[in-house]
Amino acid sequence: MQRLFMALARLMAVIGGAVLTAVILVTCVSVAGRVLNTVLHGALAQSMIPGLADRLIEMGVGPLLGDFELVEAGVAFAVFAFLPLCQITGGHASVDIFTSKLPRGANRAIQLVIDWVFAAVLILVAMQLFQGMLEKLRYNETTFMLQFPVWWSYAASLFAAAMAALVGLYVAVARVVETVSGRVILHGHEGADA
């Protein structure tokens, strides 16, 4: 079971990485287009090569239309796509100044509670994304520049959040099994000092 959920978490991270890479490329192309547009509309370029900027803009050279809408949707998906791997490997940032001095059993109990709370929060977030998606779908809301339906972004983020909730629930259940049986199921959750 651990292998299945680890594979799912890794797959989601790879997809999230691909989307984030695409978002970075969109941003770079758009910024380069803005810079080129600004330079070519400058006094020096206009005096040396008049009309070039306008011809390039007519050809589509310049900032990407709706780049911020693509970045917004892509980053939201990527954040949720990285959560499963972070949860199953225990990769979340933690401050253990107080708990590092507690006995191992107390730390396990605290981690059990944290994992269940985290699973509950992930489920709640997925449910809220589902409600938001239905609302955007019902009102046919579209983005300002690209005019694509907003619910598409919600659906993509919902899928990633549902996978994060599923993995979060698995981690919480595995934590209970570890506590009851004494076996180690989740590797990588021992902390830096273990």
Whether 174 and 2 have beta carbons less than 8 Å apart is answered as yes
CA 39 vs. chain centroid, Å, equals 34
Question: Sign (positive/negative) of CA torsion 129, 74, 9, 90?
Answer: negative
Evaluate whether residue 192 is within a structural domain. Answer: no
3-state secondary structure of 26: helix
pLDDT on residue 130: 98
Average pLDDT over residues 186-194: 55
Question: Sign (positive/negative) of CA torsion 164, 165, 168, 173?
Answer: negative
Q: What is the DSSP letter of 142?
A: B
Confidence of residue 189 (pLDDT cuts 50, 70, 90): low
Task: Please state, in angstroms and as integers, the Cα–Cα distance from residue 131 to each residue in 72, 75, 124, 128, 158, following that order.
Answer: 19, 20, 11, 5, 10
Helical H segments across the chain, by residue range? 2-40, 43-48, 52-58, 67-88, 104-138, 150-181
Evaluate whether residue 193 is within a structural domain. Answer: no
Instruction: Tell which residue, 95, 87, 161, has the closest CA to residue 118.
Output: 87
Evaluate whether residue 77 is within a structural domain. Answer: yes
Which domain covers residue 141, as residue numbers?
2-181
Evaluate whether residue 186 is within a structural domain. Answer: no
Evaluate whether residue 188 is within a structural domain. Answer: no
Evaluate whether residue 45 is within a structural domain. Answer: yes
Please give the Cα distance from 138 to 143 (Å, whole number).
15
Evaluate whether residue 191 is within a structural domain. Answer: no
Q: What is the DSSP letter of 102?
A: S
**Predicted TM-score (pTM) of this structure:** 0.87
**Residue 25 has which token pair?**
């490329």
Average pLDDT over residues 165-186: 94
Question: Sign (positive/negative) of CA torsion 29, 71, 162, 184?
Answer: positive
Confidence of residue 188 (pLDDT cuts 50, 70, 90): low
Number of domains in the chain: 1
Evaluate whether residue 14 is within a structural domain. Answer: yes
**Residue 176 has which token pair?**
């209970």
Q: What is the pLDDT of residues 131-168, one digit of tens each?
A: 999 999 999 999 999 999 999 999 999 999 999 999 99
CA 157 vs. chain centroid, Å, equals 8
Average pLDDT over residues 101-130: 94
Token match 């619910």: residue?
Answer: 151
Whether 164 and 80 have beta carbons less than 8 Å apart is answered as yes
Q: What is the pLDDT of residues 11-24, one digit of tens each?
A: 999 999 999 999 99
